[in-house]
Amino acid sequence: MADFTFPPLPGDLPLPPGDVVHATPLRGRGTARPVLWLADERMPDAGAWWTRWYAARERTGLYPLLLGTLDDPYSGVLDQPWRTTGDLAYRSVRAIDALDAEDVLRDWWEPEVNREFHGADSALARPWPGLAAPSDPARTDPDEFAGLVAAQLTTGESLLTGLAPARRGADALTAVGWHGPLNHTNDTEEISVVVRSWEERFGARVVMVGFATLCLSVAAPPTTREHARAVAAEHYAFCPDNIDQGTGDFEEYARELVNASTWSFWWD
């Protein structure tokens, strides 16, 4: 797969006022390149814009993102990480192709650490259990479902929006130079390869990305507690904070995944 470059903005694609953001390569070596078209202002109808752009993504080569921000009005620092210098540092999307989702998750799964943190009897204190089986085919088309989730997430909210140089959401995370899971992994392509796998097995789609958060629509979630436990193990490897600083309990977390229409992640 050829690496993505930033496509020209199509003349027939409706856009509010905005501009292209540039990012430096990882570790600052080389020249900056355009990685994200970013709207100038938060929009009250961001979900409608997202849906319109999403429908055109194959033609335009641009994937829409609802963008959460970290704001500190007292210091004047707003819209992190999308407008602040140095917060975006891209890596080649081709790096995703060299990875395997299960290998990445297995490497993140640390039974000795889990045993120490959760106790020897914990469901997390065991060898890597392997990938969860794919869900049955989604009752709703995953792309249509993503639009419904985008509308739901933006109801009553004004959000920033952006366009990433990618045709699928998993790749967009690396293409824009996002480093939200920095305290978990410095290599966003590892996050991307796992999300690619979830796109294929669970009809997941990237809808919203924040400073250190990620929200996916899930058209084919697990429907049984047993399947949800297998998915929950992947989630723990992917984002331990969801349990360690969230529910605090693996079984409770798995219960919440049954028929869940969105998966949300937060890295401390």
- Residue 9 pLDDT > 90, yes or no? no
User: What's the rounded Cα separation, in Å, for the pair 195 and 21?
Assistant: 24
Q: Which of 24-28, 62-66, 87-91, 215-219 has the lowest mean pLDDT?
A: 24-28
Band of the pLDDT at 138, cuts 50, 70, 90?
confident
Q: CA dist 160 to 39, 42, 50, Å? A: 6, 4, 10
- Residue 84 pLDDT > 80, yes or no? no
Q: What's the average model confidence in pLDDT over 40-69?
A: 95
Q: What's the average model confidence in pLDDT over 110-133?
A: 78
- Residue 119 pLDDT > 80, yes or no? no
User: What's the rounded Cα separation, in Å, for the pair 237 and 250?
Assistant: 12
User: What's the rounded Cα separation, in Å, for the pair 54 and 65?
Assistant: 9
Q: What's the average model confidence in pLDDT over 70-82?
A: 84
User: What's the rounded Cα separation, in Å, for the pair 133 and 264?
Assistant: 20
Q: What's the average model confidence in pLDDT over 137-165?
A: 93
- pLDDT at residue 5, as a whole number: 56
CB 105 within 8 A of CB 128: yes
- Residue 103 pLDDT > 90, yes or no? yes
Q: What's the average model confidence in pLDDT over 188-215?
A: 97
Q: What's the average model confidence in pLDDT over 219-240?
A: 97
- pLDDT at residue 4, as a whole number: 43
* Residues pairing with 218 in the sheet: 204
Task: Give Cα 65 distance to the centre of its chain.
Answer: 10
Nearest C-alpha neighbor of 69 from the set 201, 162, 151, 7: 162
Higher pLDDT pick, 107 / 2: 107
Q: What's the average model confidence in pLDDT over 174-187?
A: 92
- Residue 174 pLDDT > 70, yes or no? yes
Q: What's the average model confidence in pLDDT over 163-174?
A: 96
- pLDDT at residue 120, as a whole number: 64
- pLDDT at residue 116, as a whole number: 65
3-state SS class at 229: helix
- pLDDT at residue 52, as a whole number: 94
